[in-house]
Amino acid sequence: MINRELKDRAGKANTLNNLGIMYNRLDRYDKSIEYHELALPINRELKNRRSEGITLFNLGNAWMMVDKQGKAISCFEQSLAIARELMDIRRQGEALMMLGTTHLGLDRYDKALDYFEQALRLERENKDRRDEGDTLMRIGASTVAIEIAARREYG
C-alpha cells in the first residue's frame, strides 16, 4: 500500500476508515468493524479528533447492523461528545439521530424522542431542511410506537 510505504499514518487511518465504509455498504459488517477498529487507535494516536469522531460514528453504524446496540450507542455517544467539543453542528445532528434510531429499535421511545428533539433543534438552527424532515418523520414514528405500546399495555 502506498500509505504504508510512505509511513503516512493519517492516510492509513483514512484508508482503513474508507475500507470500513465500503464493507458496510457491501453488508460485510464484520470486515467493516475490523477496519474501523484498526483506524480508531491511529486517529487517537495522532490526536485527530475529527477523524476519531467520524470513525466512531461509522463503527457505531456497523455495530448497529449486527445487533450490538450497546456497542453502537457507546460509539455514537463518543462521536457526539467529539462533535460537541469541535462545535460541529452537522456531526452532532447525525450522532443524535443515530442515538435516537438505536434507542427506538430497543423500544426506548422516550429516550429516542429526546435525541430526535435535540437533533431537530440543531437542524432548525442550522436551517437544514432535509435533515429536519427526516427527523420529523422519526419523531412521528416514535410517537406512533409510544401509542401502540400504551394500547398494548393498557388494552
Three cell numbers at 63? 455495530
Three cell numbers at 137? 418523520
Three cell numbers at 25? 455498504
User: Rounded mean pLDDT of the chain?
Assistant: 92
What kind of fold does domain 7-87 have according to CATH? 1.25.40
Burial of 19 (0-12, 13-18, 19+ CB in 10 A): middle
Residue pair 9/46 in contact (Cβ under 8 Å)? The answer is yes
Residue 35's Cβ-side half-sphere holds a number of Cα atoms within 13 Å equal to 19
Indicate the pTM of the whole model: 0.88
- Angle between helices 129-154 and 89-105 in degrees, nearest 10: 20
> How would residue 117 be classed by pLDDT, with cut points 50, 70 and 90?
very high
Q: Which of 69, 74, 58 minimizes the C-alpha distance to 105?
A: 69
> How would residue 126 be classed by pLDDT, with cut points 50, 70 and 90?
confident
Residues 153 and 146: their CA atoms lie apart, in Å, by 11
User: 99: which DSSP letter?
Assistant: H
Q: What is the sign of the dihedral through the CA atoms of 21, 24, 29 and 31? A: negative
Residue 20's Cβ-side half-sphere holds a number of Cα atoms within 13 Å equal to 25
Comparison of pLDDT for 130 and 4, the residue scoring more: 130
Q: Where are the domains of the chain?
A: 7-87, 88-155
Q: Per-residue pLDDT averaged across 129-136, rounded? A: 87
